[in-house]
Structure 1
Amino acid sequence: MPTAAPSRATRRTLPEAGASAAARFLQNQRQSGRTAAGCFKTGQISAAVQASFEHSVPRSDGDSAMNSFPPNSQMALPVAHMPQVYAEPRTPAFGIGDVISILMRHRRTVVVTALIFATIAAVYAFGRERNYVAMSRILINPRGLQVVDREITPTSETNDGGIAMVESQMRVMTSNDVLAKVVAREHLGEDREFVGGGGALSAITGFLGSLAGGGRSIQPDIKALYNLQEAVRAQRPKRSYIVELNVKTKDGAKSARLANAIADVYINSEADAQSGLAGRASEMLTGRLDELRRQLSAAEEAVETYKFENNIVTSTGSLINEQELSQANQLLTQASNQTATALSKLEQVRRIKNTGDMSQPLPEAITSQTITRLRDRYGAAVQRREALSAQLLPSHPRMQAAKAEIDSARRQIVGELNRIAAATEADYERARAHEDKVRARIETLKSGTHRTNDAMVRLRELQRDADAKRAVYEAFLVRARELSEQRQVDTTAARIVSRAIVPMRPDGPGSILIVLLGLFAGAGVGTMLAFGREALSTRISSPEQISQISNLPLLASIPIYPTHSSDEGLPEFVADDPLSPTALAIGDLLENLRPYGPGGDVKTVLVTSPGLNHGKTTVAFNLALAAARRGEKVLLVDGDATRRTLSALRVDDPEIGFFDVVNGRARLQDALVLDPGGLVMILPAGRTSGFDWSSSLTADKIKNAVMRRLPDVSLIVIDGPIGGRSDALAPFSESADASCLVIRSGEVDEATLKRSAENLRARPGKRNGSVFVVDAAE
C-alpha cells in the first residue's frame, strides 16, 4: 500500500526563510521567462545565485566537486520547494500486456506444445489413407404414385407423417437386406478393401479378431457387409424429401459405382416389395371369397324361405298387402266424396220441395232442361196474371185462366222435383253402400297387414344380415380384382434424381490444413498450460501479492513498454514521452518517495531488487531523469559492484568511480561523469579489486565520501546491489533516506521477495516501499 501523505502540521515545520527565498526566486524568474514545464534553465539564472550554489560546497581537497557539474548542462532548478501531496500509484489493469507478459515467461511451454501438436498432425496428415466420397440423391414422395383410387399402402397427408416416412426409407436404404444384395451384385466379398488385404496389418487384425471371436472365422460376404455399412451414410437435408446417399471408399470410381448400385437396388427392392405385398393381399382376399359367397347364398335363401312360410309377397320392392291397403284407402276416399255429394244434392231437392217457392233460384246440382223450361213457363204465367190483375177482377175468366196456367206449371215443377229427388236418393244409397263395402275391405286388409308386420321384424333382420354379407362379398371381390392388377403396376414413390459421379478430390481437409490446425491447437493448449502454470506458480504477478507478502507500501506500478529509441543503452521513458504511462508512473514514484518535495527529508534514494532482470537500473535511471527534468540537481550512483549495468550503458570506459571514492583512492570530482543526455551526473561503480568490503564499505564512509560532499544536490539515486544479500545491501540502505524494492511481474518467488523485504524493513525510520514493474504491449 502507498505511504500516507504527511499531515499539514508536519508541512508547517519547513523553514519559513527558505520558503520565502524560494518564493522570491520564483517571482523574479517569472519576470525573465519560464519553460513549458515550469522550470528554468541554468543560463537564465542570475550570477549571484550561480555563485552561491557553487561556493556552498567545502573545498578541503582543492577544487570543489561541484565544479564537475558543467554550467551549461541544461539542468533545471526547481520552481519552489513546496510540500507535495503523496500521489496514488498508477496500477495498470490486467490487459493485453499482461497476457503477452505471461506468454513470454512461458514461451517455451507454448512453443513446445505447438510443435508437438503440429508433429502429431503432420504424421497423421501425411500417413493417413485418403478416402473418396460419392453421393447419389433419391427423391421420396410421401404422397406416392396414385394409380388407382385405393392403394395397397395409404399415402401421408401431413408434413410430419411425410418426414417420418422419408426417415423410415433412409433406414431401409442402409438395411442389411439392401446392402447384402449390393454385396452380392458387386462381388464385394472378393474386394480386398471390404474383406481385408494380405498385409501385415490385416494379418494382425485378423489374428486379434479370431482370438476375440473364439477362433471363429467370419465369412467374406458378412465381413464385406459390415464394412459396407460403415462406408454408407444416408442423410436428409432440412425442408426436403431428398435423401443424400454417401459412400466412402479408397477409390473414387468404386464409391460412385457402389452409390449408384445401392440406389438401384433400393428402387428395385421397393418395387418388388410393393408388388409382393399386393400379391399376398390379393391371394388372401381370393381365399376368402368362396367362404363369403357361401355365407351370402345361405343368407339370401333364409330370406326367401321365411317369406314363403309367412305368405310375404313383394312387388316392385314393397309388400302386396301394403299396396292393396293403399289402393283401398284411395277408393274409400273417392266413395266418401261421392256419398257426400249425393247427400248434399238430396238435401237441396228436399228443401225446395218443402218451401214450395218456385221463384227462388235452384242449385246447380239439380238444374236440368226440364226444370228450366217449366220454371220459365211458370214465370211467364205469373207475369201475365200480374198484368191482368191491374185491369181485371179476380173473377174474370181471363184471370181464372192465368191462375190455372200457374197451377199447372207448379204441379209440373213439383212432379219433376219429385222425380229428381227419387233419383238423387237412389244415387245416395248406392254411394253409401259402396263406401261401406270399401271400409269393410280396408278392415280386412288391416288385419292381414298386422300379421305381416309381425313377420316383417324377423324378415328385416334376415334381410340386413344378407345385405351386410353381400356388401362384404362385393367389396372383397372388387379389392381382389384391383390388387391383382396392381401387381403388374409399379407404384413406388422413390426415384433417383441425381446419380453419383466419380469425385474429383479425396474427402476431408488437406494435409497442410491439418498441420496448421494442429499447430494452432497446440498453441491454444500451450497457452492454456501457460496460464495454468501461471496460476499455480508461486511467483509474484500482481501488486496485491507484493503488498501482502512484503508488507511494504506500493509506491508505484510501472508498465514497461517497448522503446523505439535509436540510442543504445537504458531506455529514457521520461525523455522520450513525458506523458506516457511509464513516465507518469515514474513521476508517481518520485512524489511518493518525497512527499515534501525536493526540500523534504528524503535526499538519498536506494533502488534495489530481489534478483536479476527486474528493471532496477532502468527504474533508477528514469527516476533520476524525472527529477532532473523538474529542474533538480541529481546524482546517479552505480553501487552494484556485481553487474555494473549503469556504468556499462551510460559511461564510456570508466576508470574510477564510487568504490574508488569510498576507498579513498580517488576524488569525487574526478569520478563524476555527465550523462550523455546532459541532465544527470553519474558516479560509476569504479574498481573493486583490492577493496576491503568488511571495513571500507560502511554507511558512514558512503555518507562522508558522497552525500556530505554534495549538500546542494537535491537528489542522489543509488542503483544498489540485489536485495537478497543483507551484507551487501546494509551499507546502502543505512546511508539512504528512502529505499524502493523493484519487482518485475513473474520474476521472483515469495520466499525471495519476503527475504529482500525483510532486509529493507530491518532499517527502521526509513521510507521504504515497493515498485511493481510489468511488461506492457505497445
Structure 2
Amino acid sequence: MASKPPPYLGQPSSTLNIEQNFAEVIRFFRRRWIQIFGVTAVITLLGTLMVLQADRLYTATGSVAVQAQKSQVVAVQDVVGDLSPDDKTMATQAAIIGSNRLMGRLADEMKLDQDPEFSPAVRKPSFSLFRPSTWFGAKPAPKPRLTPRQAAQLRTRIIGAVTGSFAIVPSESSFVISISATTLDPQKSQAMVNKLADLYIQDGIEAKFDASKRASDYLQSRVTELRGEALQSDRAAETYRATTGLTAPSDGATVDSQQLAELNSQLIIARSERAAKEAQLSQVRALTRGDGSAIETSGVILSSSLIQRLREQESEVQRNLANLQSTYGQNHPKIINANAELRDLRAKILDEVRKVAASTANDVAVSRARENTLAGSLAAIEGRVNRGGSASVRLRELQREADANKSVYETFLNRLKETTQQVDVQSADARVIANALLPLSPSAPRVNFTIAASAITGFILGLLFALVLEKLDNTVRGADALEAMGGGATLAFLPVVSGDYERAEDIVIDRPQAMAAESLRTLRSALALSDVDNPPKLVMLSSSVPAEGKTFVSSGLARVSAQAGARTLLIDADMRHPRVHSAIGIDNGPGLVQVLSHQITLGDAIRKDPSSDLDVLTAGTGSINPPDLLRSETMQRLMQMIRAEYDFIVIDTPPFVPMTDSQILTSLVDKMILVVRWGSTPVPVVQNVLKQIHRLDAPLVGSVMSRVSFARQATYGFGDYGYHYSRYGAYYGTQE
C-alpha cells in the first residue's frame, strides 16, 4: 500500500508561492532593517529640524457679502446700476479685492513697506540652520540709494508679497467672498484682513461717486449750453416783436389763420416730444456705451411690463438655482437645467432691452418725421398768409423755437438735479458680515503632519535605498545559488572565527568543540562519503580570488584529520604567496620548491605541526617558474610517493584563475574543493572559475562557504542547514 505524501506536498503551488514571497519580504526586512530605519531616522530628523526652524504663520479670515439689493434713499434713477450677483460678478469682485491697486493702498496705509516680512529693503538676515552664513551673525548692509527703476521694482515686490499673503475665495453657493491673510504676526493678519475689507467697500463707493460726478459735470455743461440757447431764442422773439410792433401774435379771422395757430401748437408739442424722446435715446445710448451693467435701470426700459415679468422670473430661477447649488454639484442635471433656464431668461431680457432701444429710436424718427410734416404744413400755410401776416408768422416761428429750446433745457435741468442728489447719497454694493478674529494658534507649519510625512518619506527612501543595495549585491550568499552555478554540493559552512587567538587556525586545537572545528569535521566526513568505496586521499583546495579563507580551511581540514588518527600531510603548493607556514606557526624553510628542484629529499623537507601530529610540507622559497615545477615528472613521482606513505593529503593551492598552478594540479589529485567566501565573492567571478573547472574536467567534489555570518545567513533563506547551524551548535555544545 502506497504511503500518502506529506500534507505540504499537496498544497497548491499558488499557496506555496504566496508563502515564499511573504517569507522573502520578511527576510528582506531582516537583512536591510538597519539601512531602512537609518535613512528613515535621518529624514525624520531633518524634517523635524526644518519644521522646528520654520517660522510660525498665523491666518486670519473675514467675509464680505455682495448685496443684490440696496436701500433707495432718493427716488431717482442711478447713473451706475446695482450689481447683479452671479458667478462672473463674484469672480470679478474677488479680482477687485486682490487687485494691485487695493493691495498698494493697503501697503501704504498700513506702512507695510517698512515691514521686514514684505519689504526686502528693511529685512535683516536671521539665523537659519541651513544657511551657514547666519550662524555667527552678520552686520546689516548700509541701505543703498535706489534709482527710480529700483524703487519701482521694490514697490512691485512689496505689492506682490502682500498679495501673496492673501487668499480671496468667492463662495460657490452664496454671495459671500472669504478673505484670509497669513503672516508671521497674528495681530497683523487680523488688521490686514479688516483693512482690506474696508478698502474694498470704500473703493466701491468711490467708484460710484466718480461715475455720478462725471455724469453731473457733463449735464452741467450741457445745461449751460441749453440755457444760453433758450435765452438767445427768447431775446430773438422779443426783439422781433419790438421791431415789428406786435404785442402778441395775431390769431387772424380766416381759416388759414386758425390752421396756422393749430399747427403752431401741434408743432410745439411735437418738438417737445421729440426732445424728450431724444433725451431718452441719448440716455440709453450713453448707458449702452458703458459696460452694459446698468442699461436695465433706464426709465423707458423699466416701463416695459414684459421686462419686469422676465426679471421676476429671473429672480425666481436664481433663488431656485441657489437652493439647488446648496444640495447638488455643478454637474448635476438640475443645476445644468437651471443654468440653461437662467441663460435663456437673460437672453430674452437682453433681446427686449434691445427692442426697447430700437423702439425708442423709431419713436424719435417718427417724432422727427411728424415734426417735419407739421413744419412743412405750417410753412405752406404761412406762404398763403405771407402777404397778410408775414411778420406774425416770423414771430410765431421765433416763439416756437424759443419754446422748444426752453423745453429741452428744462428736461436736462431736471436730470441734473437728480444726478446732483445722487452724487451726495451713495451706498456700497457690499458689506462686511464677519470681521477677522485674532488667530490663537499658528496655521503653519503643521508640526505633527510634517514629522509624520518626513517619517513616511524617509521610510520610502530607505526602502528604495535598501532595494538598490539588494540589487547591487551580487555576491554568493547561499548554498542553493552556489549549487545552481555548478559548484556542486555545499560540503560545509565555516563561520567567522572570533575570539582571542594568536592565529585563527588554532581554534581546531584550542577549542575542538567550536562551531568552526565542527564544520571542518563535517567537511572531512562529507569527503569520505563522496566516494564510500574509494575514499579520496589526495585533495586540493582552491578559490576564485585571494583572501577567501582557503588556507584556513586547508590547515583546519588537515588538523582534524590528524586528530582523528589518520597519517595526514599538508602541502603548501602556493609558491607565489605561501601562507601555510604562518597558519601552522612554523617558518617557511626548505620545502616543496627544494624537493622538486632536487635540493633536498622529501623526508628532510617534511616538518611536524607543533600543535598536532600533522606533517607539513611548506612551499619553500626561490621558485622562478612554479607551473614548470608542478608540471614536472618529479611532481608526479612525489604525488605517488606520498600516496603510499599517508592516509590523507591536503594541498593548499593558489586561486584557480588567472594563474595556471591550480589548473595543473587538478590532474594529480583525487578530489578538488572550491572555497567561496560568503557575502564577498562576486557571482560572475565564481561563475567564471566554475566554467574553467568544468572545461578542464577537474574532479570537483563540492564547495565550502567560508567566513559565514550565521545571523545574517538566516536572513537570506531557510533552505540550507547553514541557517539552522547555530541551533545545532547550541544543541551539541559547540556554539561559540
Structure of higher CA gyration radius: 1
TM-score (norm: length of structure 1): 0.41
TM-score (norm: length of structure 2): 0.43
Larger RCO, structure (CA 8 Å, separation 6 or more) = 1
